[in-house]
A and B are shown apart, each in its own frame.
Chain A
Amino acid sequence: MLIDLVVRRWALAVMTVALAAGAVFAQDGAAVLASRFEFAGSWAPIGTEDVQNDSVPVDYLGLALTDEGRTRALSYDESQKSMVERQCQGWGAAYMVLGPFGLRISTQTDPATNRLVSYTIDAWEDWMAMTIWMDNRPHPSANALHTQAGFTTGRWESGALAAHTTHIKAGFIRKTGVPLSDQATIDWRFFRHGDVLTVLMVARDPVYLVEPEIISKGFRLSKTPLDYRDPCVPGYEGREPGDPVPHFAPDQNPFLDEFIKLYNLPREAVLGYRDTLYPEYRKKIKDTYVPPPPCTADCGVAGNFVRRRGPTP
């Protein structure tokens, strides 16, 4: 009887392993991706890509802005953050890949059927939590409430999690004031290869972007759970109702040339013109661009000019 039980358990265990192995290797020995992967968990930011672009006020590198978008961006004054109604504008959905934080992701299931209803990517210091609805529910009416995180639905597609965000509250695609309208939509794709999760963002905005803003960012599975941080909660910071909105006349933004001079960058690139995103532009500036001299003081880590310095001679 005991032998029988042991043998049966072994058989079950071995069959389980066999099935698992079948999911990993096809008949020709090639690896096979599962049609879906474990998305929930803590994912630490890898941070080896320069996607944030918010260390100086006027840095629109890598963006294809409309003239209206550029004008709005140049009119932005950081002091707007002291206004209650504008404090959280910089931390919209796009900040998931632009910000420096990791992702803490959980699942919500239907208690009756145990089926997946949604994923939630938790808030992290000003960024609002994002729910990705996985139960095929439709997006709400165009007139429904728009929020910082927007409304997002998802589905598994070709081994990746594909998601679509609408109903984004008008805010910024860079927290230095580059605008994103409430007509913007974002398509996400989450790829997992081993312990690396790559989040691809394709943001479209018919008002402020000539072409989609495409950003991909890597995260690594964390063995220790990430902390929860509070989302952005507006509070009184000295501005009274009726006070003027701090701003610059777009052609008189005092920071316009700061980034340009710091790195000898072409003005049209810093101001987010579409042509600057393609290889032809590199050839165009080949004979005129002069790299900045090596940093000799206050260089910070990795030889980067972390402190502002005067105009290059």
Chain B
Amino acid sequence: MRSLVAIAGLAVALAALGSPASLHAQRPLDSARDRSSSPSAREAAPIDLTGYWVSYVTENWRYRMVTPAKGEYRRIPSSPAAVPIINAWDPSADVKAGNQCKSYGAGAIMNVPGRLHITWQDANTLRLDIDAGTQTRLLRFTPRASSKAGPTWQGESTARWEPVAAPDRGGSLSVVTSNLRAGYLRKNGVPYSERATVSEHFDLAPLPDGGQLLLVNTVIEDPVYLNAPYVVSPHFKKEPDGSKWDPTPCSSTW
């Protein structure tokens, strides 16, 4: 009898264990049903990132607000393969090649001083417009079906909410970006390659004056031009409206 009870318990446990796993396993078969029944990313958002945000440059000022000297890559764990490229940086050659947006790609754009405008493009796509360089990032919660598009400055971003377990509230937005066009981590030509990936967590924190801070914890990995992950965490203050929104074109020198 005890064995029967125990076996029954095992069966229940296996069923319980199977539930999350089976959800994943069944997802391709039930995708149509899931789409109709599960909440959209917009509905499931544990935090509200929408609105206007401005860079508050209290860190890395000398590398962000002005263009550092050619050849300086302090704080970036560049690989030996990157050093000749760093020393050969030629902004005019970038302009001639149509590459003046090299320092505005997803590997660097959140560090470029400017403003973000975050909106929902649709129920499962968060859109980040950035006035510096007039760039747009699309953070997709439902991956696109096998995109064959070539690499771009902003790449392909897959997003996922990480809500805090109930009964607490809040959470984080996790974003992984790849399929990037080779770019610069810093304006003065410190490179990342097309094989780079950018992993980000978007977190919110209250400010003492009642405002809100957006912190973007960023880990950039590149098997070609980085010896180790490059970790930065730029932050933004919430603004009441878009009155200071000022799109500017990319610049290879500024």
Residues of A within 8 A of B (CB): 3-4, 7-8, 10-11, 14-15, 17-19, 21-35, 46-51, 61-63, 156-160, 162, 185, 187, 189, 191, 193, 196, 198, 200, 202, 204, 212-218, 263-265, 269, 276-283, 285-286, 289, 291-295, 299, 301-305
Given contacts A278-B54, A291-B67, contact A32 B163 (CB under 8 A): yes
Listed by A's residue number, 30 A-B pairs whose Cβ atoms lie within 8 Å are A7-B6, A10-B10, A14-B13, A15-B9, A22-B20, A28-B38, A29-B20, A29-B23, A30-B160, A30-B161, A35-B165, A49-B231, A50-B75, A61-B62, A157-B168, A158-B168, A158-B169, A159-B162, A193-B172, A193-B201, A200-B215, A214-B235, A218-B217, A278-B55, A291-B66, A291-B69, A292-B68, A301-B74, A302-B73, A304-B72
Q: A165: shortest Cβ distance to chain B, in Å?
A: 12
Q: Are B54 and A303 in contact (CB under 8 A)?
A: no
Which residue of chain B has the shortest Cβ distance to A24 in the bound complex?
A: B20
Q: Which A residues are in CB contact (< 8 Å) with B232?
A: 48-49, 218
- For B, the interface residue count at a CB cutoff of 8 angstroms equals 83
Q: Are B59 and A49 in contact (CB under 8 A)?
A: yes
The A-B contact count (CB < 8 A) is: 248
Q: Are A49 and B74 in contact (CB under 8 A)?
A: no
Q: Which B residues are in CB contact (< 8 Å) with A4?
A: 2-3, 6
Assess whether B81 is interfacial by the CB under 8 Å rule. Answer: no
Residues of B within 8 A of A (CB): 2-3, 6-7, 9-10, 12-14, 16-17, 19-21, 23-24, 27, 34, 38-39, 44, 47, 54-63, 65-78, 86, 113-115, 132, 160-165, 168-172, 174, 188, 201, 203-205, 207-208, 213, 215, 217, 219, 230-233, 235, 244, 246, 248, 254
Measured between alpha carbons, how far is A40 from B190 in the docked complex, in Å? 36
Which residue of chain A has the shortest Cβ distance to B219 in the bound complex?
A: A196
Q: Which of A7, A185, A218 has a CB less than 8 Å from the CB of B231? A: A218
Which residue of chain B has the shortest Cβ distance to A201 in the bound complex?
A: B58
Q: Are B233 and A218 in contact (CB under 8 A)?
A: yes
Q: B192: shortest Cβ distance to chain A, in Å?
A: 13
Q: Which A residues are in CB contact (< 8 Å) with B3?
A: 3-4, 7
